[in-house]
Amino acid sequence: MVDAFCGSWKLVDSQNFDEYLRALGVDSAIRDAGNAAKTTIVISREGDRVVIETLLTDTSVKVNEISFTLGEEFEESTADDRRVKSIITLDGGNLVQVQRWDGKETTFTRELKGGQMIMTLMFEGVQAVRTYDRE
């Protein structure tokens, strides 16, 4: 099922992302950059490992990359420089990522709907939705 997510996805819409970043405690300069950035997410498989790369669309500069096996916890450095423990699972056809740090937790749910990848981010009751089209 992960194969359905494989490919390149360009950000086309972002709702409530600034509020989500603010809830996480991300400083205003990084929030401004994150809100202004147009990103592309590239998802691929290498054997039993899945790789998710986040690139700046205009420059192809890599912002973040994670490589993981579904269901196995791994350490991650986020784009806003948090050190977290993440686990990604398949749940009902969706890729669900949970990041934990300092007693806190955020969840990303990636789902395929109508040819788009919809990424819903949740943290302490604040929800952001980012929509991507396949390139």
What CATH number does the domain located at 2-134 have?
Answer: 2.40.128.20
Q: What's residue 79's pLDDT?
A: 81
The answer to whether the beta carbons of residues 127 and 121 sit under 8 Å apart is yes
Question: Alpha-carbon Rg of the chain, whole angstroms?
Answer: 14
> Domain extents for the chain?
2-134
Instruction: State the DSSP code for 23.
Output: H
Roughly how many angstroms between the first and final C-alpha of the chain, as a whole number?
A: 19
Q: What's residue 39's pLDDT?
A: 92
Element (H, E) at 121: strand 116-123
Q: What is the mean pLDDT of each run of 10 residues along the chain (135 residues)?
A: 95 96 91 85 95 82 87 92 95 97 97 97 98 97
